[in-house]
Structure 1
C-alpha cells in the first residue's frame, strides 16, 4: 500500500469511528438531573475503542471530527447539535471523550499491552480523565456561564454517582473488546 492509499485508509477509519460515536448517542437512557438532563449512551464505549484501535492521534481525531460535526449543527449529540451545546453543562463529557480516546491511544502505543488487565488499567486512566473533564466543565458552566449555582457535592452526585458504575462497566467491556481486537487490527488493518 502506498502512502496516499494509507492516508485515505486512515481518514476512512477515523470517519468510521466518528460515525460509531454518533450512532452511540442515539442508544440512550435519559437521567433527569438539574440543570439539564444527562444521557447515558454508548458514545463513551466507542470513544474507548477509538483510542485502543486507532491510537492516540487517530483516536483523538475521530472524536474531534465527531465534536466538530455536532457543533456546526448536525444533530449527532444526544440532544441535537449546534454551537449552543458549548454552554450546556454536560458538554464537558463530550470533550471528555477526546481526552479519554487520546489518552487511551497514547498509553496503548507506549505500553503495548498484552494482557487484559493492562488494557483495563489504560481504560481506567481514560475513565478518570473523562470524568474529571466532565465534572469540572459541568461546575464551571453551571456556576459561571448559565448562572445556575451548583456545589461540588451536587456535581459529584449528578455527574459521577449516578453514572459511574454503568460507565465503568462500559470501560471494562471496552478494555475486553480491545484486548481481543487490537492484535487483529494492528496485524491486518493499521499496519
Structure 2
C-alpha cells in the first residue's frame, strides 16, 4: 500500500516536471511567434509569449504556473537566447525585463483566481486573465521606470511609461487574454492529473 502511494507520488512529480518543461518551452517559443493584424488605423503586432504564460496559470495553477515562468527566466538569464532579444544576465538592466518578471505575477494571479471558482465559465476565466494582465503591466512599468531613471540614467516620466508601455500594447494583450480564456477550457482538464 505504501509502495503504491510512493509510485503514484513519483508519477505526479514526473507529470509536473514534464508540464513545467513544456510550458517553459512554449513561453520561449512564443517569444519568436509574431502575429501581425493589419487593423486600420492602428495595426496590431504581438508575440504569443503572454498567451502561453496565461495558459500556464490556467492549466498548472498559481504555484506551478509561476514556476514554469521562473524556469523560463532562469534559462534565459543563464545565457540561452530564449528572450525576444537574446539572453544572459545583462538582460536584468534592460528596462523591459520587468515585463518578463510580470509574467510570473500574471501566471500566479491567473492560476489563483481560476482556482477560486473551478469549473467557472468563460467570463470568470477572462476575469482571471485580465487581472493577471494588470499585474504583468504593473511589474513591467515599475521596473521600466526604475531601471531607466536610476540605473541606466535615461530619465523618463510616468506619463511616457504609461503611454509607451501600456496604452500602445494593452489592446493586443487583451486579445491574448480572450484567446487564452477560450483555449483554457479544453486544456484545463490536463492540469487535473498533476
Compute the TM-score of the two structures, normalised by the length of structure 1.
0.89
- State how many pairs are aligned: 180
Aligned twin of 1:158: 164
* 1:122 maps to 2:128: yes
1:13-49 Cα deviation digits (max 9, x unpaired) = 100000000000111379xxxxxxxx93211000000
List alignment gaps of at least 5 residues for structure 1: 31-38
Q: Is the contact made by 2:53 and 2:103 (CA closer than 8 Å) also made in structure 1?
A: yes
Aligned runs of 1:1-191 on 2, under 5 Å?
A: 2-28=8-34, 40-182=46-188, 184-186=189-191, 189-190=193-194
Output the CA distance in 1 between the equivalents of 2:14 and 2:96: 33
Q: CA deviation at 1:113?
A: 4.2
Q: CA deviation at 1:172?
A: 0.9
1:113-155 Cα deviation digits (max 9, x unpaired) = 4211010111111011011111111100000000000001110
Give the match's secondary structure for 1:2. Answer: helix
Q: Aligned-residue CA RMSD in angstroms?
A: 1.6
Give the match's secondary structure for 2:154. Answer: coil
Q: CA deviation at 1:181?
A: 2.5
Output the CA distance in 2 between the equivalents of 1:89 and 1:113: 38
